[in-house]
Amino acid sequence: MARVIPQFMTAEIDGDFVVFLIGMRINKVWKIHKWLPVLLAVRRILRELDAHRESGFLGYFGAGRHRSVLTVQYWRSFEHLASYARSEEHQHWSAWVAFNKRTRNSRGDVGIWHETYQVHAGEYETVYSGMPLFGLGTVGKLVPVGGTRATARGRLLTRAQSSEPVGVHSGPEAQI
């Protein structure tokens, strides 16, 4: 079991980065031959990315619910993400070509989607309490919440304006 960090923490990451949300939805459960290859490809792609951090891939987490699967990925830049996605030498390209062939005449059996967000340095905010490493905290640096970092607004302003030393939060809780 992952170690739970009991105090309030925030994540910091140097420079700009990209958050990439990608997912699939099983619309016709009985058409396993359409959606299972997609699910298996996702696993292969994530294993490949984990093994090749030089690609600009920083990390990910995933979840599933109501016939849907979501993966949140962190990338150093959009250029790194696009380069990986278009490379015929990596798992994604062949999986994308196979998906399009398999679903050419049956759109709607399995849905896929993605969203890409470019995040500029300091223009994000995080808080974690009673959690193991999670989200941006898995790819950035965790620091205790305190001082001006005790509120969401304070964490945003602190990142944008200074590199003030961080102290342990002394209030009853970090405010979201």
- Give tens-digit pLDDT for 8-19: 999 999 999 999
The answer to whether residue 176 scores a pLDDT higher than 50 is: no
Amino acid at 138: T
Cβ neighbors of 130 (< 8 A, separation 6 or more) are 4, 5, 6
- Within 13 Å and on the Cβ side, how many CA atoms surround 111? 12
The fold of the 17-119 domain, in CATH, is Alpha-Beta Plaits (3.30.70)
User: What are the CA-CA distances from residue 12 to residues 56, 109, 161 (Å)?
Assistant: 17, 40, 14
Measure the CA dihedral 111/89/50/101, to 10°: 10
Taking CA atoms, 113 is separated from 20, 124, 142, in Å, by 11, 23, 30
- List the Cα angle 17/19/25 in 5-degree steps: 165
Average pLDDT, whole number, for the chain? 86
Q: Is the pLDDT of residue 45 over 50?
A: yes
- Break the chain into its structural domains and give their ranges: 1-13+125-176, 17-119
Distance CA 103, CA 85 (A): 19
In the structure, what pLDDT confidence band is assigned to residue 58 with cuts at 50, 70 and 90?
Answer: very high
* pLDDT score recorded for residue 79: 97
Q: What secondary structure letter does DSSP report for 42?
A: H
List the structure tokens of 49. 């990315």
SS3 state of residue 36 = helix
Q: What is the pLDDT of residues 109-161, one digit of tens each?
A: 999 999 999 999 989 999 999 999 999 999 999 999 988 888 888 888 876 66
Using a cut of 0.85, tell me whether the model's pTM lies above it.
no
Which DSSP helix (H) or strand (E) runs through 126? none
Query: Contact, 95 vs 24, CB < 8 A?
Result: no
Residue 86: the pLDDT is: 93
